[in-house]
Structure formats: structure tokens, C-alpha cells
Amino acid sequence: MTNITAIQSSTYKIISECLGIPESSITPDSSLDSLGADSLDVIEIVMALEDRMGIEISDAEFEACESVRDVIELVERLRP
């Protein structure tokens, strides 16, 4: 198993909870679309990330994310 950061772990958990899928089905290269997320799911994921990570994510920032890895890198950048 690769070394997973706390932010990665939290992001996987949030995505898993919002989409009702096992964390084991999420990879860094997964797109939210490939995981079955629709536009409402994406809003729920963004709100959960903002709430649990203490950050604010703009629509443009999140829309630029093509993979779970991109989401993790965004959260890492925005964390104080």
C-alpha cells in the first residue's frame, strides 16, 4: 500500500460517503464522473470538503479538477 496522507484519506472518505461507494474503488486517477458522480453529488462533495477541511473552493477551482488526485492537490493548496 502506498503512503497515504491525512488529506488523501479524508478526501477518499468524503467521496465515498457522498457517492455511496467503497473507498477501495477510488484511485487517484479516478474522475468523479467515472465514480458515478452527477452535478448534485459534486456540489455535495465540495460542501463536505469545505466543511470538514475548513477551506473555500471556488467553482472554477473545482471545475479544473479532472481527477481525485487533482481534488487532493487543490485541498492541499487551500489548507491553511
The C-alpha atoms of residue 50 and residue 52 are separated, in whole angstroms, by 6
Task: Please identify every residue annotated as catalytic.
Answer: 38
Q: 58, 78 in Cβ contact below 8 A?
A: no
